[in-house]
Structure 1
Amino acid sequence: MLSYGKADVRNASHLALSNPLSKCAESTSSDLATSKLHTIIDALAFRARSIPDQTAFVHLVDGEVIEQAITYRELWSRSQSIAAYLKAFEPNGKRAVLLLDTGIEYVSWLFGLFHAGMTIIPAFPPIGSRGLSRLALICADAQPDIIVADARFSNARERLNDLLPSAMPQPYWVETTIPTGGPDCTGVGPARDDIALLQYTSGSTSTPKGVILTHANLVSNCENASLWMGDIRGRVGCTWLPPYHDMGLMGGILQPVYDGFSTLLINPGHFIQKPFRWLSAVSRYKVTVTIAPNFALDLCTDGISDAERSTLDLRHVRAIYCGAEPVRSRTIERFTDRFAAAGLDPATIGPCYGLAEATVLVAGKPVDKPFVSFHVDREMLSRGTIQVVDENAPGACPLVSSGRPAAGVEILIVDPLELQIVPEGRIGEIWVKGDNVGTGYWRNAVASSETFGGTLPEVDGQFLRTGDLGALLEGELIVTGRLKDLIIVSGRNLYPQDIELTVEETDSRIRPNGCVAVALDDGERERIAIVAEIKRSEKLDDVAQELLRRSLTAAIVAAYGVKPEHIHLATPGTIPRTTSGKVRRRAVRDALLAGNFAQYGGRTRAPVPADRSAS
């Protein structure tokens, strides 16, 4: 049977002496230039030849001390065994849902499916009825031939089949325990232009769509990211991001194999349960590069005790790439101030921007440079212009740059209505072109044309219309929000992320990243509604809740000159989110209008009237 060896239990002091990642990469990615690299499997084959005994991945099974490790030689061998086993399915061109948790098994099957020439559909594990419903939506759209799952998830087979369209052939479920060896897999494998992934979008604004990514797209993204990340020598990675998410998959698994460095894997749930586990692992394994969305920095700042912090050594960290959601200046300041005593250099924080439609990477902070932020005039921002002002000027608000365009990527800022390139400092839709941009959405020609077919007079080629708003200023990309999320009140553009930050900073009883602002449009005007989650440690009676609403209203009026017409207080976990943690604003709006939002204290609010305010 395919086995992964016995995981060793080590205490922290032993780990420091026998770190399996201590032999880190000493070569540079340029050694791939002389090889015939067409797919990510070619990169794995190259690593298996050039650094066969180097550790590729270490999985902290319990999030702390129990390890499972695999070398590049072993990963190549296991991917071959899996590909050989899959030959019975005549796999070339067929589609496979990968339904596994983070770990060595996930990585092995990922490369085994690639090796077999299959199109992989990374999927969120079907935990609960909501997770199962989402998986059914993905399967109904992708129509996979097989589903790769272990015993934990194979029990969901019948329930999933019941949710699929009756006319759809039921996918075959493949158990992950397979015989080793098997028939020779020579001749099995993908070509550069074959579809590698159907990366389903998070569904924050609509039903999930499958982005078509070829092996050429994956290689292009790895090439761009390798140049962006700089010198490979001594690099050790760490990721707790879900592997079914584009940033977790590309940055946490494929990039390490492309560049040939060792990476530590932590299950997302282990991090969420105890954020200290992430920074503790970074410290103990002397990690140099890692990834974290904005909310993760807040969790660490607020959730790691002084005693835990005193055990950390973060002096060797060279980069913490921060993306997947808006990056806040205040979050970075709090995080770097909090962990300065552990040796963290503020220059390690690397805001970046990307999306699944572009494989992942579009822009990022150059390596070894401090992140850039601007203080801008809030009133001018509402009028669509980035005007830099002194940080102490009235109405000044901070905006963090997402860095500069990655190598091989072209960015335009375009007026989404007039379809004209706007001047520097003017906000418009972000358009992207590059070899990392996918070819469209799976079986959705209309959406593909709208999103991937952006053209402008006298500009060569087609561009990806990201649906994100931003501006270019001094070569820096500043992302201001989503086009569909924009709230327009009395001719002014209000960005929900700014309002949410104001709410959180107004009162410490609001849970970090626990606020959402949406527009309720009655056909004549847009009204602002806010949902704010109260920390579990707080106990507010009716009087305290009303005073809090008044305080939040006053803060928003003072900052933006508009009054929210509905403030809904809720318990933690109430706000609906995507599998990657992004707020599902449409679902928030619909729940408010339908009266389906549970109120803080256990009651359910009446629906918000569509034609007038509700307090």
Structure 2
Amino acid sequence: MSTPLNSKATMTARRAVTPTLMHCLLDREAACDGSVAYRFITRGDLQPLEWSYATLVAQAKRLAAALQQRGLRGERVLILCAVGEDYSCVFFACLLAGAIAVPCTPLRGTRHRSKIVEIVKSCAPRLVVCDEASMRPLAELLQPAGLQGIELADPARLAAEGHAWQCPDVAPGDTALLQYTSGSTSDPKGVVVTHASIMANLAGIETKFGLGPDSRGMVWLPPYHDMGLIGGVLSPVHTGYPITLLSPLLFIQKPGRWLQLISRYGITASGGPNFGYQACVERVEEAECAGLDLGSWELAFNGAERVDAQTLERFTRRFAPHGFRGTAHYPTYGMAESTLMISGGSRGAGYRVLPAIPGGGHRAEFRDAVSCGSALDGHELLIVDPESRRPVEEGGMGEVWVRGPSVAAGYWGNPGEAFRGQVEGRAEHFLRTGDLGVLRGGELYILGRMKEVIIVRGANFFPTDLENAIRGAHEALNPEGVVVFSHAGEAQEESIVVMAELRRAARDTPPEAIRARITAALVGEFDLRPIDVVLLPFGGVLRTSSGKPMRMKMKQLYLERAREPEAVA
């Protein structure tokens, strides 16, 4: 089953006028009227730092000049700044210098240290830009790995050094950034994203979302995540609307801040992964909703992980009294390998749900699946049998394949077989997403990752369905910290393991009571009995930079016992 490859003259016309995002940025600077373009919120009191395009581009040009003075045209620049104005400025400086930006998680605590080392080894940056406080610990981190020869610089120093910026000759086919994957199911890989791919994806987002200069956007995802970068930092430059960027840490601490800022600034378009909506349902106190008005929120996009219909329903019920409309929900599908967005629905139409399909044979059982709409203009979707590499019939399950101008050029240093999918009888190359899905009526329904399907006694299950059943099993569980994976027990029969975080205030709850409720939920809904239920303290589940639980990493820890998770009991 496939969707047709469409083209839009408007997309071609836009790229002809502004061939790269750098040109868009300079156009915004030239037309700047002093109004707020970027609003950065990084403080707990939610007081903003507001910049016009004139301020933003002036600072970015100073940084770009410093990069040019170092001869970094076409070279990799690793960005490790704290989230906020510095991070965005350094990224735009890379565009203005013709350098290749490499967004990365800042060095904070012990988490993500190994990922930083892996990324540095992979892309061999000429320069690492980080805040001054991170320089010494970063140098100490890189030295044992034999990476001590890389220059480290903070944004303030670079800005002071930068003089006489010159506009580089940047072409659409040039590499703009390396977007490293989250590593939720494997080691991170550097996706090679060109200027042309960025422009194609931003044009597709603008059309699908119905964005325009009158839109008011907001994102809390970090700029080192593809949704936070492409959808938060870059989309406003392409389309010309103001954006509010909330620190992800402030959101994680109190999800209600997201809703309060939507209300304060009359935000029309905002969103994030499914777990963000779930966090609001579970953790926003009624006192935080005093005076809350979500009536301006027209587009509540939801992506970066599988969208759960129950979460959408619960969110609507919880916040409808405060002006939220269920028709604002906008499930979407995408990945870094296609820049960001692959498919989306119709704005204001709400969402469709595909009822559960019982398992059998090679068909994996799944619970209600939410439509992620149709492909972006100029792109084609196929559902393909991953073994025969032939398209399946309408409504059949298979691997999601996509082609179009948003698809990246491959992985850094390795084009990757994932980008070379070929259907029998066709010459074009497709991106093999590794996701299982269904196309019905031209709309895409995502079921889960192929490599994570759990097979028990010949029946197939998706981890997300099992995790959803567990989240409400006991009030002591943190619903945002549940992972399930397959494991062969002592009898070598495939079964499942559950690892679940407890809430901060739940340490006095008898562990056996929690385990019993988890087991009862799985037996009652799926006739599955886990061979082990590991209870973890709050924060015990490893997460990606966007906050998504790292299911396969947790399985690796469980199996290897290399870093035994701290069990509660």
Classify the TM-score, shorter chain.
over 0.9
Q: CA deviation at 1:361?
A: 0.3
Moved more, 348-357 or 65-74: 65-74
Residues 174 and 194, structure 2, Cα contact 8 Å, conserved in 1 = yes
Query: What do you get for the CA RMSD once the two structures are aligned?
Result: 2.3
Partner of 1:462: 429
Residue number among 152, 177, 189 corresponding to 1:173 in the alignment: 152
Residues 200 and 210, structure 1, Cα contact 8 Å, conserved in 2 = yes
Question: Is 1:293 matched with 2:289?
Answer: no
Partner of 1:75: 56
State which structure, 1 or 2, has the greater radius of gyration over its C-alpha atoms: 1
For 2:273 and 2:96, the matched residues in 1 are separated by 31
Three-state SS of the structure 2 residue aligned to 1:327 is coil
Three-state SS of the structure 2 residue aligned to 1:575 is coil
For 1:246 and 1:98, the matched residues in 2 are separated by 14
Partner of 1:513: 480
| 1:200-599 paired onto structure 2 within 5 Å | 200-379=180-359, 383-384=363-364, 397-445=367-415, 448=416, 450-521=417-488, 525-540=493-508, 544-595=510-561, 596-598=563-565
Residues 333 and 343, structure 2, Cα contact 8 Å, conserved in 1 = yes
Q: CA deviation at 1:241?
A: 0.5
Question: Is 1:146 matched with 2:109?
Answer: no
Residues 421 and 430, structure 2, Cα contact 8 Å, conserved in 1 = yes
For 1:272 and 1:154, the matched residues in 2 are separated by 26
Q: CA deviation at 1:508?
A: 3.0
Q: CA deviation at 1:416?
A: 1.1
Relative distance call for 1:147 and 1:381 in structure 2 (3 A) is: farther
Residues 127 and 150, structure 2, Cα contact 8 Å, conserved in 1 = yes
Residues 82 and 131, structure 2, Cα contact 8 Å, conserved in 1 = no
Partner of 2:80: 99
Residues 345 and 373, structure 2, Cα contact 8 Å, conserved in 1 = yes
For 1:154 and 1:52, the matched residues in 2 are separated by 37
Gaps of 5+ in 2: 1-9
Relative distance call for 1:344 and 1:550 in structure 2 (3 A) is: same
Three-state SS of the structure 1 residue aligned to 2:111 is helix
| 1:113-152 paired onto structure 2 within 5 Å | 113-152=94-133
TM-score by length of 2: 0.93
Q: CA deviation at 1:321?
A: 1.0
Relative distance call for 1:31 and 1:289 in structure 2 (3 A) is: farther
Q: CA deviation at 1:310?
A: 2.3
* 1:250-300: CA deviation from partner (whole Å, max 9, x where unpaired): 000100110001011111111111112111111111111112211111211
Relative distance call for 1:31 and 1:277 in structure 2 (3 A) is: farther
Partner of 1:612: none
Q: CA deviation at 1:179?
A: 4.6
**One-letter identity of the residue aligned with 1:108:** C
Q: CA deviation at 1:521?
A: 3.8
Q: CA deviation at 1:359?
A: 0.4
Q: CA deviation at 1:77?
A: 2.4
Identity %: 33
Gaps of 5+ in 1: 1-28, 387-396, 604-615
Q: CA deviation at 1:366?
A: 1.6
Residues 298 and 348, structure 2, Cα contact 8 Å, conserved in 1 = yes
Relative distance call for 1:411 and 1:63 in structure 2 (3 A) is: farther
Three-state SS of the structure 2 residue aligned to 1:152 is helix
**One-letter identity of the residue aligned with 1:306:** E
Residues 69 and 162, structure 2, Cα contact 8 Å, conserved in 1 = no
For 1:384 and 1:171, the matched residues in 2 are separated by 48
Select the structure with the greater relative contact order (CA < 8 A; seq sep ≥ 6).
2
**One-letter identity of the residue aligned with 1:372:** R
Residues 11 and 203, structure 2, Cα contact 8 Å, conserved in 1 = no
Residue number among 72, 75, 89 corresponding to 2:70 in the alignment: 89
**One-letter identity of the residue aligned with 2:326:** P
Residues 97 and 121, structure 1, Cα contact 8 Å, conserved in 2 = yes
Partner of 1:111: 92
Residues 114 and 189, structure 1, Cα contact 8 Å, conserved in 2 = no
| 1:44-55 paired onto structure 2 within 5 Å | 44-55=25-36
For 2:295 and 2:80, the matched residues in 1 are separated by 37
**One-letter identity of the residue aligned with 2:411:** Y
For 1:183 and 1:209, the matched residues in 2 are separated by 35
Q: CA deviation at 1:424?
A: 2.0
**One-letter identity of the residue aligned with 2:53:** Y
Residues 385 and 427, structure 1, Cα contact 8 Å, conserved in 2 = no
State how many pairs are aligned: 557
